[in-house]
Structure 1
Amino acid sequence: MTVKAILEAKGHDVVTLGPNEKLSEAIRLLAERRIGALVVTNGDRKVVGIISERDIVRVIGKEGAAGLDFIVRDVMTPKVNICNENHTVNEVMEIMTRGRFRHLPVEKDGQLDGIISIGDVVKKRIEDVEREAEEIRTYIATA
């Protein structure tokens, strides 16, 4: 299974914000949408960073309420790991595990095309394992 299959099931919608927004706006979006990360773009759908709940907790933990006025570009992770629709579920699991993060933007032709989370990947992997187990049971029953 590939990232393309995950995106076909969940859609290509991604919540983004610009690098010049305040951290308080990022927090508002995360809470409102009930998500764990935002992709930072320049409006042209080119990924320039990602900001997660973890990034925000670090700033607030260090700076307190003053951190709410920080600019996203100063808090985000600028070097973003990215995948494409041809990556397999196992490949993105490896990327996420190695990098110790839970969200992976998907690019197509150099532009943001979607985002997958570790939850999406695990769900797809479980579906694959259950399907394979059913195929084996069917094969054994008819052998």
Structure 2
Amino acid sequence: MTVKAILDKKGHEVFTIGPNEKLLDAVRMLVDHRVGALVVTNGDHKIVGILSERDVVRVVGKDGGAALEKTVREVMTPKVKICNESHTVNQVMEIMTNGRFRHLPVERDGYLYGIVSIGDVVKRRIEDVEREAEEIKAYIAHA
């Protein structure tokens, strides 16, 4: 199973924010859209960073409420791991596990094309395992 299959099922919608926006606006977007991360772009759909809940907690824990006046650029993770549509679920799981990420932007031709979360990956993996189990049961029943 590939990232393409996940995106075909869930869609390509990604919530983005510009690097010069205030962290308070980013937090409001996270809450309003009920997501755990925003991909930071320059408006051209080129990825320049990612802002996760963990980034927000880290800076608020350090700077208190004043952190909300910082720009997204000051708080985001600038070195973003990405994947593409041809990555398998297992490859994405490995990237996420090794980097301890919960969100992985999907790039196509150098531009943001979608995002997969650990929830998307786990859901797809569970579906695959359940399907395989049913196939084995059917095979045994007809053997």
TM superposition score category, shorter chain reference: over 0.9
Q: Which whole-Å CA distance do the structure 2 matches of 1:30 and 1:23 have between them? A: 10
- How large is the RMSD of aligned CA atoms in angstroms? 0.3
Q: Which whole-Å CA distance do the structure 1 matches of 2:53 and 2:122 have between them? A: 20
- Provide the TM-score with structure 1 as the length reference: 0.99
Report the counterpart of residue 78 of structure 2 in structure 1.
78
Aligned residues between the structures: 143
Letter in 1 for 2:40: V
Identity among equivalent positions (%) equals 74
- Provide the TM-score with structure 2 as the length reference: 0.99
Q: Which whole-Å CA distance do the structure 2 matches of 1:127 and 1:40 have between them? A: 31
Structure 1's unaligned 5+ residue stretches are: none
Other structure's SS at 1:51 match: strand
Q: Which whole-Å CA distance do the structure 1 matches of 2:133 and 2:59 have between them? A: 46
1:50-83: CA deviation from partner (whole Å, max 9, x where unpaired): 0000000011111111001001001000000000
Q: Which whole-Å CA distance do the structure 1 matches of 2:101 and 2:139 have between them? A: 38
Q: Which whole-Å CA distance do the structure 2 matches of 1:82 and 1:100 have between them? A: 13
Letter in 1 for 2:91: E
> 1:19 deviation in Å?
0.2
Runs of 4+ in structure 1 deviating by more than 6 angstroms, as ranges, are none
Report the counterpart of residue 51 of structure 2 in structure 1.
51
Letter in 2 for 1:105: P
